Amino acid sequence: MQSVLKKSGRTELAIIAIVALVFAFFWFAGPAFAGTDNTFDTALTKFTDFLEGSGGKIITVLSLAGGIVALASGRFSMGQIAIPVGVGVGAGTGIPIVTSTVTATI
């Protein structure tokens, strides 16, 4: 009988904790405005400049070199060609697409 009471006491305590947590979320929640925060603007600018510039070229060349090394080892697959092409396209056009989508005003 006591084990049943212990389990029900734990269950009640868990329910009370969950209710208190949900109440705290609603009580302390503040308004969120998309696009008004500029905390990470400098980091975003540096990172996108890096990927659109020499960093994207370096990543693409390294990916191409990995594909060539894999081809030279004698095992051929389409991934050895498709992955460097995908990396190059992603570095060249993917970054502007993502940043324009994120910064778009809806």
Q: 67: how many CB neighbours lie within 10 A of its CB?
A: 19
CB-CB contact of 61 with 88 (8 Å): no
Quickly state the pLDDT bin for 102 (edges 50, 70, 90).
low
**C-alpha span between 60 and 22 (Å, rounded):** 47
- Fill in the amino acid letter for 38: N
Q: Answer yes or no: is pLDDT of 8 > 70.
A: no
Chain segment 40-96, per-residue pLDDT in tens: 778 878 888 887 788 888 888 888 888 888 878 877 778 777 888 888 787 778 777
CB-CB contact of 59 with 92 (8 Å): no
The pair of structure tokens assigned to 100 is 């324009």
* Long-range contacts, stretch 59-67, CB < 8 angstroms, 24+ apart: 59/87, 59/91, 60/84, 60/87, 60/88, 60/91, 60/92, 63/87, 63/88, 64/88
**C-alpha span between 83 and 67 (Å, rounded):** 8
The pair of structure tokens assigned to 44 is 């975003």
**C-alpha span between 69 and 62 (Å, rounded):** 10
Q: Answer yes or no: is pLDDT of 31 > 80.
A: no
Q: Answer yes or no: is pLDDT of 35 > 80.
A: no
Quickly state the pLDDT bin for 104 (edges 50, 70, 90).
low
